[in-house]
Structure 1
């Protein structure tokens, strides 16, 4: 397993629009720390305005020239089950732009996100509450099966696009989304039923739901996990901290990945930090010790 880093962890917010040579400079910083792989991200707006063939090829060529292998291109969109068919169609259209950008850069995987249930009202954070409670209210006529079928239809369309570009497709299963547990992930994999479709596993997303990442890895198996995001959680208040600073047992996680035959990257993902160099290095150093069996 190679250690990789995500480019969006080096910007104030992950959705920042790239500009000029910003991603080139981020790639340099990632490589200077010693990472061997990199993941990139594009919003619909960025795909329309920034990720031209020229920009993508330059980014891929530069990354490889400094010893940084592009791996995943993440399409930052979660409208796959939207009630508006035009909005879903626009998301599919932009997914194809993401697949094209991934191909130009030289990534092997194009990934996207899992949405909340269609019609769910956004949760509100009450700063006076003793604990954070995630939840949403559903419309009275909500139909789970219709929502699920719409989501599966969108993902199948995207997978067909990914395969046309010679790519595999993965989805990242966020907490409180339609697919947040390993059982739901297994149902997703069963329904799509294609070896080129898999899971972008995030250890933090599991820990913050009090789900064991090690068990999840054995449930999914090495062939259906396409990428692993490594960030930690204290399972109480902090859900975006460096590996080794929370309660995730990374030696056990890495051993489980080895046992199931996982051969992808461990991608350090730290977002919203004011000191990305410090915290990414801290995570990398911990994971190196875990990989070497020295922790």
Structure 2
């Protein structure tokens, strides 16, 4: 029975929690929460039955909202209602910027993010993989039914230099994360410097630290026609720190609830079990006008998959 799903979600002796991302709920700009909006969002997330929560901050939010008092209050409230903070995502892409001042500014704010994560009680501080340095994005007709994105490269672009700059920034970030007793993960977006499992493995090899890992997003893989299950086996459980569960139909719709696309979450969960993954499944749904409806839809589907009933 579905009521017994909790009994069936053990992974290598650990309990897999179903978490939710706070930035999918914000009724105001997600990078500039005000007042007690995140407190209200935590209540809504817990009310649906989620057990964990991830938070997000931009440089602006870290300056204006995530004070020590606000962070400690948010963390204490989350835990008091049975919602465990897990990941704090720092939304910034300056890690391979051509301008060293921009990279240093990103590192400065990453430390603020690590401090905020520590105050809230998160275990992981995460950030993003950028586009190649100097890339100029372009798109086909936006009315096209499928996402078609790419970029033009500047003359004289040097991939090796770009890669080494990115790795140097991540090594510095990792040392900052360790200073605050945290692990560090990165989310690998389509079209970014690290978008495929092969590139992820190369990055993991170059950083070569057990406290550095991947924030895996099933939607980002499916929309590139890469099998999430195969990716999980390639990376292994120790290198995956968190999993974003949002679906894709691989043609025209991304960022849809788990179970509404082509991702086989029963197979994904079994693969995670087989490789010894011990993190959360974080439902991530962004830019929806009805977060309660679609987050509940994803939650109910993942419960069935965890219980072996789907």
C-alpha displacement of 1:43: 0.3
Name the residue aligned to 1:118.
133
C-alpha displacement of 1:122: 1.4
The C-alpha deviation readout for 1:140-181, integer Å capped at 9, x for no partner, is 100000000000000000000000000000000000100000
Name the residue aligned to 1:64.
79
Q: What is the distance in 1 between the residues matched to 2:136 and 2:64?
A: 31
Structure 2 length-normalised TM? 0.94
The C-alpha deviation readout for 1:245-270, integer Å capped at 9, x for no partner, is 00000000000000000010000000
C-alpha displacement of 1:127: 2.8
C-alpha displacement of 1:126: 1.2
Consecutive unaligned residues in structure 1, runs of 5 or more: none
Name the residue aligned to 1:153.
168
Consecutive unaligned residues in structure 2, runs of 5 or more: 1-15
Q: What is the distance in 2 between the residues matched to 1:134 and 1:13?
A: 27
C-alpha displacement of 1:123: 1.9
Name the residue aligned to 1:2.
17
Name the residue aligned to 1:169.
184
Q: Measured at CA, do residues 205 and 14 of structure 1 come closer, stay the same or move farther in structure 2, by a change above 3 Å?
A: farther
**After TM superposition, what 4+ stretches of structure 1 lie above 6 angstroms from structure 2?**
none
Maintained 8 Å contact 1:254/1:291: yes
Maintained 8 Å contact 1:173/1:201: yes
1:84 to 77, 83, 99: 99
C-alpha displacement of 1:130: 6.2
Name the residue aligned to 2:305.
290
Query: What is the count of residue pairs matched by the alignment?
Result: 295
Q: Measured at CA, do residues 118 and 12 of structure 1 come closer, stay the same or move farther in structure 2, by a change above 3 Å?
A: farther
Name the residue aligned to 2:280.
265
Maintained 8 Å contact 2:86/2:123: yes
Q: What is the distance in 1 between the residues matched to 2:27 and 2:251?
A: 24
Q: Measured at CA, do residues 20 and 142 of structure 1 come closer, stay the same or move farther in structure 2, by a change above 3 Å?
A: same
- 1:97 partnered with 2:122: no
CA RMSD of aligned residues (A): 1.1
- 1:229 partnered with 2:237: no
Maintained 8 Å contact 1:13/1:271: no
Q: Measured at CA, do residues 139 and 63 of structure 1 come closer, stay the same or move farther in structure 2, by a change above 3 Å?
A: same
Q: What is the distance in 2 between the residues matched to 1:130 and 1:2?
A: 35
Q: What is the distance in 1 between the residues matched to 2:239 and 2:183?
A: 11
1:278 to 281, 289, 293: 293
Q: Measured at CA, do residues 283 and 119 of structure 1 come closer, stay the same or move farther in structure 2, by a change above 3 Å?
A: same
Maintained 8 Å contact 1:15/1:43: no
Q: What is the distance in 1 between the residues matched to 2:133 and 2:123?
A: 30
Equivalent positions of 1:177-196 (< 5 A) are 177-196=192-211
- 1:135 partnered with 2:150: yes
More strand by share: 2
Equivalent positions of 1:214-225 (< 5 A) are 214-225=229-240
